[in-house]
Amino acid sequence: MPKIYIAKPFVLNLDGGEQVKFSAGAHTVEQDIADHWFVKAHTAESAPTQSEDVAAEMAAKDAEIETLKAALAEAVAAKEEAAKAKPEAPAKAKKEV
């Protein structure tokens, strides 16, 4: 059975009223489906790929995001701890006239 890559989703209407829904992405189908003119019109040569540079850049950005998340969590925890340790200010007495 051939593998095809669908560029964007579509519905294939077959003889007899049967409908086959295709989502974007890779599919393994029967040969007669792969050879259908409408399927061929929605099939891409291959799945899009990322270059190694883009993948490495994304990995670096993901690592930076995780580092920033950890720093934010530490800052929030420190602020909460400082708020607990700070004594409450006494209420100001109102002057009576």
List pLDDT tens digits, range 37-96. 999 988 887 666 666 677 778 888 999 999 999 999 999 999 999 988 876 655 565 665
Evaluate whether 5 touches 47 at the Cβ level (below 8 Å).
Answer: yes
Mean pLDDT of all residues in 5-17: 89
Q: Is 55 found in the same domain as 36?
A: no
Residue 81 lies in a domain: yes
Asked whether residue 54 falls in the same domain as residue 77, the answer is yes
Please state whether the predicted TM-score (pTM) of the whole model is above 0.75: no
Total number of domains in the chain: 2
Mean pLDDT to the nearest integer, 4-31:
89
Residue 80 lies in a domain: yes
Q: Can you say whether residue 17 is alpha, beta or left, with left for phi > 0 and alpha for psi between -120 and 50 degrees?
A: left
Same domain as 37, residue 22: yes
Containing structural domain, residue 13? 3-44
Q: Is the domain of 38 the same as that of 70?
A: no
Within a domain: 95: no
Residue 93 falls inside a structural domain? no
Binned at pLDDT 50, 70 and 90, residue 30 comes out as very high
Residue 15, token pair as written in the block: 């003889």
